[in-house]
Amino acid sequence: MDVQEVREARGKGVVAFAKFCQDRNFYNNCLFCFLEGEDDFKYYSSRIEKYAQYDYGEIIHYNCCGRKEVLKAYDLIKNKKIYDRVNKIFLIDRDYFPLRQTKKDIYQTPCYSIENFYISSKCFSKILNREFGINVSDADYQKCINDFEKRKEEFHKKILFFNAWLYYQMNMQQKKQDHRICIRDYKIAKLFSSIEIDELKSKFTIDLPFLKKEFPNAYNVRLSTIEKICHLFNKNNCQQLFRGKFELDFLSRILNSLKIKNQNGTYFTTKRTSVELEPHTNLLSSLSEYADTPNDLILFLEEHKK
């Protein structure tokens, strides 16, 4: 890598690229994996082992700190023929704006982010079975599934406007190449007085005045514009389209409420005695085995099999 390349590609993407160039000289039989964040590897690692058939010690991964930086690392590598035969993958979230054209070594989630893989009914049912010890034949099982689906639908209705507004803001930031708002550490739970398996209550009405107060530097937007985006979202699967960190925060609160109700004996017909789940720990890691694995990810990893 020459000095000019460094100047033209500043950031974590170029750091990952430089480290890859060094590692490649010493590790010839490894799979090199570029990710948006360190937490992502907690979801992908076991799936890489299973479907690409690399042992954990044969997977070298790089935290690029964001989708843009993963793509930057990809651009730095793709035109260097010396790395054509190196097995490498670049894993990114779709976010609100998917790549227009897929690339051979790039996997893009079919939903907003990997966090959305944790919010499905299938994932939730596995958590009930393995963390709470509830069989599908138990009366509590169907009760939990029904309540979970109801609360999720209510939650999506209440944050629909927020997601549509965010979609507009992210689109404008891309066009203007600036950064008006920071949403990284924003907790959606702050907008609710209660997120429980049997109850969901809002603290605020999420509308344009509220969001302007929360994010004073945001772009101004007409209500009619946001309503059009809401309509587009409603025509599709909100679970797939909405911001993944909001979805995971919702799941965390639901699981915490189940754990508390189990301790208090206020929800289940039978108290579960071996519930060790910690909902406020890193769920990407602790619940990874239960999360959905889409078919396109399986096919992608099999194409990069050892």
pLDDT of res. 175: 87
Which parts of the chain have pLDDT scores under 50?
1-9
**Does the pTM exceed 0.95?**
no
Max CA distance (Å), the chain = 67
pLDDT in tens, 90-120: 999 999 988 887 788 999 999 999 999 999 9
Which residues on adjacent β-strands are paired with residue 194?
A: 201
pLDDT in tens, 267-303: 999 998 888 899 888 899 999 999 999 999 999 999 9
| DSSP single-letter state for residue 30 | P
164 contacts: CB under 8 Å, gap ≥ 6:
226, 227, 229, 230, 233
Give yes or no for a contact between 96 and 113, defined as CB atoms under 8 angstroms apart.
Answer: no
